[in-house]
Copies of this chain bind each other. A is one copy, B any other.
Amino acid sequence: MNPLTIIKIGGKLLDHKTTLHDTITAFAKIDRPKILVHGGGKRASEFSQKLGVKTQMINGRRITDEATLEIATMVYAGLINKQLVSLLQKMNCNAIGFSGADGNLIRSQKRPVQEVDFGFVGDVEQVNTSLLVTLLKQGIVPVFCAITHDGNGQLLNTNADTIAATLATALSNYFKVSLKFCFEKEGVLADPTDETSVFRDLSKKDYAFYQENGIISDGMIPKLDNAFTAKKSNVHKVVICGPNGILEQKGTEIWG
């Protein structure tokens, strides 16, 4: 099978112009089929604040009401996505920006209301792999934002790590996929205060142990859950890394 690299960028990488530029430059240099998935960074919160739209939180989890969904669609699918595409085009990388609605590429289901009503949040249901494979074969570089749709006219806010993991899993039937979750640290840290304490690899067993002992916590957990799910679902290689890990063998490799 031919190789395919899927890079997810998020967190503070998107908020600093120079770091973002270096990250995109590295991505553009990958000389094989590739996909970029991006989160939203601070911009959406900044616009929400300016527009007087308050972020609703329930039990520490963010709720996506209609106004928040509009802002997410504008900032993720509009501003950030098109700025990245235009930057990639400058680097001779034939990028096309996508939401999940475009070409019905990622269909999701509005998260069912249980204890919490998360609002317009979508859990991924289906990837239109045949169209995606066709586009990749034509040399197109898809750039996905974290907006999907339900197939019934409703856009939905979706976690960018989950989108990256789902795309990697769906495309593993067609390509030997390397999935890299790229953020502002060099990998998963054994000691959050020590940037050099990067785990070279992480097994499911180790992960459970470190989680129990509070060594791995907070924001790393959903990212690692997505990483382990992808690895378990036949994705060839899964890595958590910084921008340096895009072209080099760096960061934390995930073992199933």
Query: CB within 8 Å of B: which residues of A?
Result: 47, 50-52, 70, 73-79, 81-83, 85-87, 89-90, 94-99, 101-104, 131, 134, 138, 140, 147, 149, 151-155
Contact = CB atoms under 8 A, between A and B. Distances in A.
19 contacts: A50-B51, A73-B79, A73-B83, A75-B78, A76-B78, A78-B78, A78-B79, A82-B147, A86-B155, A87-B153, A89-B149, A89-B151, A90-B151, A95-B101, A95-B102, A96-B103, A97-B99, A103-B140, A134-B138
Contact of A86 (B50, B86, B154): B154
A121 to B, nearest CB: 15
A89 B104 contact: yes
Contacts of A51: 47, 50-51
Contacts of A155: 82-83, 86
Contacts of A76: 78
B74 A99 contact: no
Contacts of A79: 70, 73-74, 77-78
B77 A73 contact: no
Contacts of A85: 99, 101-102, 149
Closest 4 CB pairs of A and B: A78-B78, A74-B74, A90-B153, A74-B78
A87 B50 CA distance: 29
Nearest to A143: B102
Contacts of A95: 101-103
A47 to B, nearest CB: 8
A81 B70 CA distance: 12
